[in-house]
Amino acid sequence: MTQHDSRVSRETRPRDGLYDASEDEATQRAAFTGGDVPVAVYGLGKMGVPLAAVYADVTGNTVGVDVDPSVVETINGGQSPIKREPGLPDLVAEVVESGALEATTDGEGAAERAAVHVLMVPTLLTDDDEPDLSIMDDVVETVGTGLSPGDLVIVESTVPPRTTVDRFLPKLLETSGLSDGEFGVAACPERTVSGQALADVRGTHPKVVGGIDDESTRAAALIYDEISSNDVVTTTDATTAEATKVFEGVYRDVNIAIANQLAVFAEEMDIDINEAIDVANTQPFCDIHDPGPGVGGHCIPVYPHFLSGQFDADASLLSTARERNDDMAAYTASLTDAILESEGVEPDEARVLLLGMTYKANIAELRNTPSIPLARHLAEMGPTVYAVDPLIEDWSALDTVEPLTLEEAHDRSVDAVVLATPHDEFTTLEWDTFDAPILDGRAAIDTEEVDAPVYTIGGPWP
């Protein structure tokens, strides 16, 4: 019987889980790192694949669960479905080859055999900007069907504070038929940044751990002490751990909004916002972030909605910051329009080349990307909008742009170039070959080598 044989069930498991385990800590650690505490990681995306690979590397006995058969097939073929993550392809190949990691679409079977259940599936927003926990609810129910005494459920996905105790715990009790105190639940929020995910999972930052009870916290802290090389910071309870994660993200969204607000002031003052920010940040109490065309991804623009509308407290600061960040797409389009006007180009006859459609450099993620509203605002002003993004394969949802390859773009005559997302492919561009003014939305271009006028958001007019 292989370690991952789906016939491995609660009766044939080598031992019970770590929650309320009777042995001493050293024995528990040895069991966890020796593969006697099977792990299941639910959700094999940008976060789940690095996480499952590290769990497999540490335990030798991890199953990854995903609903996408192509993801499962890719991983079981020893390949990573997630690109541009240093070290990840090699680690996935290694742990799959050794049998330490296996992927499956069988969530129930994985739940049956696992003693540690790690939830890393999306927590997004509905069209009404309400938290959408439907995927988590499904996975929690699946885990509940296979939950055994001694098991530990770990919520790595970001959720509105109080979700673990108020929503997931009752569902686990109901679907498992177990009683309070028979299994553990802990919020251990993922703090990883795409592009350095493996390093982050392994310990770039301290790992925050907060359980529904002290024993959950203890068991989860033991696990992450083995997973991460950094400190494990335990919190009083699961809600505090959930809140710290959301607060980190809200801090970032509000501070980006401050940078964007100051950029608008700088434009009017005819100074360079980036110079002013660099100088202001020379003293330790100031950490002004970077202005840009907006805030994308399924995290930073989402997390404020995990607070506003979920609690009675007034959230006007958060909503004002969200509006400021979302307004930057239109602001960037208006800057482009002003550049065209300064060049004497009629908007209706203009051709604009938009570089970068995903939300962040080198990350293939379109959720909430500011480039989509930016392209829409540009098109509404009249110009034809061409777009280049080497990370996008399916352009079907991007109907306000005409996709080009980088090679095609070089051969196309355009009246302005807008750099919205500075993928690596764009850093070696010969910008003067476009023979057009450039709006560098992320202040990413080394203008020393560029003769064409280069504008920035919040920068002086060249």
Ligand X SMILES: NC(=O)C1=CN([C@@H]2O[C@H](COP(=O)(O)OP(=O)(O)OC[C@H]3O[C@@H](n4cnc5c(N)ncnc54)[C@H](O)[C@@H]3O)[C@@H](O)[C@H]2O)C=CC1
Residues with catalytic roles: 245, 299
Q: From the list ligand SAJ, ligand X, none, which binds 8 (C-beta under 5 to 8 Å, kind-based)? A: none
**Which residue shows structure tokens 């100088």?**
279
Q: From the list ligand X, ligand SAJ, none, which binds 458 (C-beta under 5 to 8 Å, kind-based)? A: none
Q: From the list ligand X, ligand SAJ, none, which binds 44 (C-beta under 5 to 8 Å, kind-based)? A: ligand X
Question: Nearest approach, Cβ of 299 to ligand X (angstroms)?
Answer: 5
* DSSP one-letter string for 402-448: EE--HHHHHHS--SEEEE-S--HHHHT--GGGG-S-EEETTS-S-GG
- Binding residues (CB under 6 A) for ligand SAJ: these are 158, 191-194, 248-249, 252, 256, 289-290, 292, 295-297, 299-300, 359-360
Closest CB to ligand X among 45 and 293? 45
Rg over CA atoms, the chain: 24
Q: From the list ligand SAJ, ligand X, none, which binds 183 (C-beta under 5 to 8 Å, kind-based)? A: none
Closest CB to ligand SAJ among 182 and 290? 290
Question: Nearest approach, Cβ of 80 to ligand SAJ (angstroms)?
Answer: 18
* Nearest residue to ligand SAJ on Cβ basis: 299
Question: Nearest approach, Cβ of 98 to ligand X (angstroms)?
Answer: 23
Q: In angstroms, rounded to a whole number, what is the distance separating the alpha carbons of residues 373 and 393?
A: 19
Q: From the list ligand X, ligand SAJ, none, which binds 216 (C-beta under 5 to 8 Å, kind-based)? A: none
Question: Nearest approach, Cβ of 192 to ligand SAJ (angstroms)?
Answer: 5
Do residues 76 and 92 lie in contact, with contact meaning Cβ atoms separated by under 8 Å?
no
Closest CB to ligand X among 223 and 404? 223
Closest CB to ligand X among 122 and 296? 122
Q: Which amino acid is at 325?
A: N
Q: From the list ligand SAJ, ligand X, none, which binds 252 (C-beta under 5 to 8 Å, kind-based)? A: ligand SAJ
| C-beta neighbour count of 424 within 10 angstroms | 11
Q: In angstroms, rounded to a whole number, what is the distance separating the alpha carbons of residues 98 and 102?
A: 10
Question: Nearest approach, Cβ of 361 to ligand SAJ (angstroms)?
Answer: 8
Closest CB to ligand SAJ among 142 and 260? 260
Backbone phi, then psi, for 119, in 5-degree steps?
Answer: -100, 115
* DSSP one-letter string for 371-402: HHHHHHHHHHHS-EEEEE-TT-S--TT-TTSE
Closest CB to ligand X among 31 and 136? 136
Q: From the list ligand X, ligand SAJ, none, which binds 296 (C-beta under 5 to 8 Å, kind-based)? A: ligand SAJ
Q: In angstroms, rounded to a whole number, what is the distance separating the alpha carbons of residues 70 and 315?
A: 41
Closest CB to ligand SAJ among 47 and 238? 47
Q: From the list ligand X, ligand SAJ, none, which binds 256 (C-beta under 5 to 8 Å, kind-based)? A: ligand SAJ
Question: Nearest approach, Cβ of 351 to ligand X (angstroms)?
Answer: 34
* Nearest residue to ligand X on Cβ basis: 45
* Residue ranges in 114-237 assigned as alpha helix (H): 134-145, 163, 169-176, 197-199, 214-227
**Which residue shows structure tokens 């800057």?**
335
| C-beta neighbour count of 173 within 10 angstroms | 17
- Binding residues (CB under 6 A) for ligand X: these are 42-48, 65-68, 71, 107, 120-123, 135, 138-139, 157-158, 190, 192, 194, 298-299
Q: Token digits for 349?
A: 């006859």
Closest CB to ligand X among 136 and 378? 136
| C-beta neighbour count of 203 within 10 angstroms | 16
Sign of the C-alpha dihedral computed for residues 432, 436, 440 and 443 taken in this order: positive
The three-state secondary structure class of 207 is strand
Question: Nearest approach, Cβ of 442 to ligand SAJ (angstroms)?
Answer: 7
Q: In angstroms, rounded to a whole number, what is the distance separating the alpha carbons of residues 258 and 238?
A: 30
| Nearest CA-CA partner of 386 in 377, 395, 375, 394 | 375
Question: Nearest approach, Cβ of 449 to ligand X (angstroms)?
Answer: 32
Q: Token digits for 20?
A: 């309320």
Q: In angstroms, rounded to a whole number, what is the distance separating the alpha carbons of residues 208 and 237?
A: 11
